[in-house]
């Protein structure tokens, strides 16, 4: 039983870390989107932001299903 708890904690920590990483990536992509003027780059950042939002939704859903919390507040 102890090993299963350790595995869940490790998986949970990985999910929470992934959520934080995606949040940072989204901030960077949104910031870059605001500063570009080239049409190709604008399109590129739009696709990147959409893909990151989907990834973020996936990790939030997974965290919620696992009942993960960060600190005293639930992640979702």
Please give the Cα distance from 16 to 71 (Å, whole number): 11
**pLDDT at res. 74:** 46
For 11-29, what is each residue's pLDDT tens digit? 888 999 999 999 999 999 9
**pTM for this one?**
0.77
What's the CA gap between 41 and 33, in Å, rounded? 8
Q: Among candidates 58, 49, 68, 50, which has minimal Cα distance to 11?
A: 68
Q: In this predicted structure, what is the pLDDT of residue 27? A: 98
């Amino acid at each position: 039983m102890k090993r299963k708890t350790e595995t869940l904690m490790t998986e949970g920590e990985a999910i929470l870390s992934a959520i934080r990483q995606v949040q940072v990536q989204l901030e960077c992509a949104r910031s870059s989107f605001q500063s570009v003027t080239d049409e190709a780059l604008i399109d590129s950042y739009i696709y990147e932001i959409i893909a990151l939002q989907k990834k973020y939704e996936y990790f939030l859903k997974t965290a919620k299903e696992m009942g993960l919390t960060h600190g005293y507040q639930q992640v979702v």
